[in-house]
Amino acid sequence: DSTTTIRLAALARGPGRVEVVLRCASTAFQVDHFRATCCFERSAVGTQRSAAGFEVPGDRVPLDPGRDLYGTILFHEGRFRRLLGYRRLGATECVAEVAPGETDDWFGRYLPPALLLGDPAARDAVIHAVQACIPHRTLLPIGVKRLTINSVPAPGLRFVRALERSHQDDTLTYDLEVTDADGLVCERWEGLRLRAIQGTEFRGPWAVPLLGPYLERRVRELIPGAEVSIVVQRDGTSGRRPRTRRALEVAVGHPVLIRRRPDGRPEIADDRVVSSAHAGDLTLAVVGRGDIGCDIEPVEPRPEAFWRDLLGPERLGLAHRIAREAKEGLETSSTRVWAVSECLEKAGAMIDSPLILAAHRDGRVVLASGALSIATEVVRVRDVEPPLVVAIAARSDHARL
């Protein structure tokens, strides 16, 4: 294992204000890799309850960080593996549990072991808890506007609530709040900036709870202006309607009353539109505004005659074109077209609406029908065979005729 020497330099700028910089041997101690101003003032943060009366959700998301994150999506080892699980997980928000430390051997054997500013591994876990919101790209911290720390940190279980404030190109900005098991605020992070690193994409197979945040990120990339919330859940113990209700409640963020239209489509009692689909024991739920639709279909080998009967000659021709452009099998491209047709119907479009290939890249194919864009992707889900085509339709800012 390689090692490096780091150097911390500090300069008092005034009463209660100290400027610090971090340098390292790999750049001959000539580059300030991090810079901060420490303000030593009494803070009430440790005596406050979580903002806006926030309460930790009771049920855990069925995601095991040790199996589903560490070693694949997260690179952390040893004492830095502190994530216990999630109570809420979406593309722009999460509530995570961080385990207390079990060791105090951070320094040399003859140095005091006390951690005056808290556990570094726990604080690192506070940052990398956000990674599950963007599971396909490695995130690295590049700065924070303000970090307020409780003056008397105590060991114990921590809960992290993270909210995305902005997303510009490869830079994401989050606010985080860390509380103890009693709901008291331990620290607040304002304006944490994270950089999504190019060339680090994770492509699966996916743990089911990560699929919703991944798909939501992709849809927002591929369909400009689309504002959707996407959830994927696994449940083989109940019927489709109870599964749809549970998934939609997670997507909406609170319990909802679902009504059924005469054609069976679900509706909720506000101005948002919902759509759902099923494949085996998986449920896909989408919530948004305007015209939306979704579908999820297994990719299975079938003869071309089957697809001709199902799609018709015109859309089978489109499937052939997609197969050539995307360099994939006809069974995959035909499944895309079939899933898109289902999305169009759920979005209220005519079943035979004109459909064109709008864009394709790295296994993602976007089709368009008037002002509707339909993003499709083939995904592999852990313990699920065969691969699945997921299609999401939404109204785009850039209508294509």
User: Which helix (H) or strand (E) element contains residue 173?
Assistant: strand 171-180
Backbone Cα Rg of the chain? 24
Residue 201, in any domain of the structure: no
Total number of domains constituting the chain? 3
Do 243 and 103 reside in the same domain of the chain?
A: no
Asked if residue 103 and residue 37 are part of one domain, the reply reads no
Instruction: Return the closest-CA partner of residue 286 out of 296, 277, 275.
Output: 275
């489709």: which residue's tokens?
240
Show pLDDT as tens, one digit a residue, over the chain (401 residues): 678 999 999 999 999 899 999 999 999 999 999 999 999 876 655 556 665 556 677 789 999 999 999 999 999 999 999 999 999 999 999 999 999 877 668 888 888 888 877 888 999 999 999 999 999 999 999 999 999 988 656 678 999 999 999 999 999 999 999 999 888 899 999 999 999 998 778 888 999 999 999 999 999 999 988 989 999 999 988 888 889 899 999 988 888 888 888 777 888 888 889 999 999 999 999 999 889 999 999 999 999 999 999 999 999 999 999 999 999 999 999 999 999 999 999 998 887 899 999 989 888 999 999 989 999 999 999 999 999 999 999 998 654 43
Shared domain for 391 and 274, answered yes or no, is yes
Distance CA 52, CA 35 (A): 32
Q: Are residues 228 and 353 in the same domain?
A: yes
The CA angle 159-124-86, to the nearest 5 degrees, is 35
Q: How far apart are CA 320 and CA 317, in angstroms?
A: 5
For residue 274, is it within any domain? Answer: yes
Please check whether residue 132 is in contact with residue 213, taking contact to mean a CB–CB distance below 8 angstroms: yes
Last residue within a domain, chosen from 196, 226, 259 = 196
CB-CB neighbours of 237 under 10 Å: 7
Whether 400 is covered by a domain: the verdict is no
User: Which residues neighbour 381 within 8 Å (Cβ) at sequence distance 6 or greater?
Assistant: 204, 205, 206, 208, 211, 282, 388
| 108: CB partners within 8 A, 6+ apart | none
Indicate whether 184 and 221 sit together in one domain: no
Q: Is residue 383 part of a domain?
A: yes
Q: Does any domain span residue 177? A: yes
205 prior amide bond cis, ω within 30 = yes
For residues 264 and 351, membership in a common domain is answered with yes
List the structure tokens of 330. 């006809």
Domain final residue, candidates 142, 165, 196: 196
Co-location of 233 and 120 in the same domain? no
Please tell me the distance from the alpha carbon of residue 278 to that of residue 32, in angstroms, as a whole number.
52
Which of 196, 228, 255 is the C-terminal boundary of a domain? Answer: 196
> Could you list the residue range(s) of the whole structural domain that residue 35 is in?
1-41
Q: 186 and 56, same structural domain? A: yes
Q: Are residues 279 and 241 in the same domain?
A: yes
Q: What is the pLDDT of residue 199?
A: 76
Identify whether residues 32 and 113 lie together within a single domain: no
Contacts of 242 (CB under 8 A, 6+ apart): none
**Core vs surface per residue 1-27: b (16+ CB within 10 A) or e:** eeeeeeeeeeeeeeeeeeeebebeeee
Q: What is the pLDDT of residue 401?
A: 37
Are 46 and 36 in the same domain? no
Within a domain: residue 203? Answer: no
Could you tell me if 335 and 212 lie in one domain?
yes
Residue with tokens 């726990």: 122
CATH of the domain at 81: 3.10.129.120
Report residue 141: phi and psi, to 5°.
Answer: -75, 135
